[in-house]
Amino acid sequence: MKPSRALLSMLLFASATTTSFAQNKPVVQFIATGGTIAMKIDPVKNAPVPAISGDDLLATVPDIGKYATIQVNNLSNVPSDYMDPPRWIALTRAVQASLDRPDVAGVIVSHGTDTLEETAYWLDLTVRSDKPVVLIGAQRNASSPDFDGPRNLLNAARIAVDEQSKGKGVMLAMNNQINAARYVTKTHTANVETFNSGDFGFIGEVYPDRVIYSSTPSRRQHIPIQTDKMPEVEIVAMYGGADGAALRNAVDRGVKGIVVQALGMGNMNQPMFEAVKYALSKKVPVVISTRVHNGRVLPNYGFVGGGKTSFDAGAVMADDLKPAKARILLMLLLQRGVTSQADLQAAFSR
């Protein structure tokens, strides 16, 4: 059936209205990488799979033209579980190239939520600009009647063009809340209010009338990318009864750095401590983090395997960075040739 003249007129009017909204509005680059926000239910698999582009997502938010002229870059369409250093490097280059354009006010990156916090921290370390970079995702796929992707995209556009957003670094914006890259983490497998920043809290909120910030992140640093292939850094977990074999095996296969997901303030048992000393004897830097959600690791306890004994042996304390983000910082430092305990510790304490 052909659409009626009335319907055609309505569609043309809506299109013209959206175009008029976008005219003379700030330019925002929207880089789509995939994730649940780009998925729909596959009728054969009866499960969400990659299905929609950044352009498709943009089409669900007609009011976005009131705030910005959106330019879409469909960089990839993969689950965020597939994100890795080569994809991060490509994303950094795409984001930096966009921000270097005088006409671009900010960048939005859509991404899966499983590694969204890692990508946010990677970009915060590797991108240099005062312009805002806003990462978004979705907990519900595009087939869901309460798909949260459109609202997150609209909010991101409003954040990206807001003058207050400059100098805040990379931010993650979902469920009307704004979190800074360093501390944000996923806390629930399914809830739309999954991202928070623990003791530090989110830095702002998006309301219908305006964006409100309560703080500006201060613990930030820039580490330029110097290679197309990042040094391999492994994360090894400490747990009751760990024997250190996984850590030794990682060293023997040639990894360039180790992050230990230790306990408490950075503690481990004696077998794991001996494995740490083995890594250090092979000139493999070791960073001690913790599986505890909040708080810092410190060279505090003096029993064999306590944080002080690891630090005294030559290991680096990750401060308040959790293992996945400590791995990213160590990887970027190693590719810059930073290897000594003192220099690594200075970067982790910054």
Q: Are 70 and 58 in contact (CB under 8 A)?
A: yes
Question: What pLDDT was estimated at residue 24?
Answer: 87
In terms of Cα–Cα distance, which of 331, 326, 320, 271 is closest to 297? 320
Q: Is it the case that residue 175 has pLDDT exceeding 90?
A: yes
pTM score: 0.92
DSSP state of 267: B
Q: What percent of the chain shows pLDDT beyond 90?
A: 93
In terms of Cα–Cα distance, which of 120, 108, 116 is closest to 32? 108
CA distance 92 to 223: 12
Q: Is it the case that residue 40 has pLDDT exceeding 90?
A: yes
Q: For the chain, how far is it from start to end, CA to CA, in angstroms?
A: 65
Q: What is the pLDDT of residues 237-282, one digit of tens each?
A: 999 999 999 999 999 999 999 999 999 999 999 999 999 999 999 9
Q: Is it the case that residue 160 has pLDDT exceeding 50?
A: yes
> Does 194 count as an annotated binding residue?
no
Point out which residues pair with 108 in neighbouring strands. 30, 134
DSSP state of 181: T
Question: What pLDDT was estimated at residue 180?
Answer: 98
The mean pLDDT of 316-342, rounded to a whole number, is: 98
**Strands 257-262 vs 233-237: parallel, antiparallel or unpaired:** parallel
CA distance 42 to 176: 29
CA distance 77 to 36: 10
Q: What percent of the chain shows pLDDT beyond 70?
A: 94
Question: What pLDDT was estimated at residue 321?
Answer: 98
Q: Is it the case that residue 12 has pLDDT exceeding 90?
A: no
In 10 A of CB 185, how many CB atoms? Answer: 19
> Does 114 count as an annotated binding residue?
yes
Q: Is it the case that residue 17 has pLDDT exceeding 50?
A: no
344: Cβ contacts below 8 Å, ≥ 6 apart: 285, 287, 316, 330, 333, 338
Report all structural domains of the chain as residue ranges with CATH numbers, in order of start: 25-211 (3.40.50.1170), 231-347 (3.40.50.40)
Q: Is it the case that residue 6 has pLDDT exceeding 90?
A: no
Look at the chain and count its residues: 350
Question: What pLDDT was estimated at residue 21?
Answer: 56
CA distance 205 to 201: 11
In terms of Cα–Cα distance, which of 235, 237, 270 is closest to 255? 235
In terms of Cα–Cα distance, which of 39, 58, 182 is closest to 108? 58
Residue scoring higher pLDDT (8 or 228): 228
Rg over CA atoms, the chain: 22
Q: How confident is the model at residue 196 (pLDDT cuts 50, 70, 90)?
A: very high
Residue 163 class from Cβ within 10 Å (0-12 exposed, 13-18 middle, 19+ buried)? Answer: exposed
Q: Is it the case that residue 18 has pLDDT exceeding 80?
A: no
Question: What pLDDT was estimated at residue 7?
Answer: 41
CA distance 181 to 236: 23
In terms of Cα–Cα distance, which of 288, 15, 322 is closest to 182? 322
Question: What pLDDT was estimated at residue 11?
Answer: 44
Q: Are 119 and 91 in contact (CB under 8 A)?
A: yes
Q: What are phi and psi of 305, to 5 degrees?
A: 105, -10
Q: Which residue has the tokens 């000393």?
A: 277
Residues labelled catalytic: 36, 113
Angstrom CA distances, 66 to 25, 53, 171, stand at 8, 22, 22
Question: What pLDDT was estimated at residue 1?
Answer: 41
Element (H, E) at 74: strand 69-74
Question: What pLDDT was estimated at residue 8?
Answer: 46
Residue scoring higher pLDDT (21 or 71): 71
Question: What pLDDT was estimated at residue 22?
Answer: 60
Q: Which residue has the tokens 């992707």?
A: 149
The mean pLDDT of 122-140, rounded to a whole number, is: 98
Question: What pLDDT was estimated at residue 10?
Answer: 47
Q: Which residue has the tokens 């869901």?
A: 144
Q: What is the pLDDT of residues 199-237, one digit of tens each?
A: 999 999 999 999 999 999 999 999 999 999 999 999 999
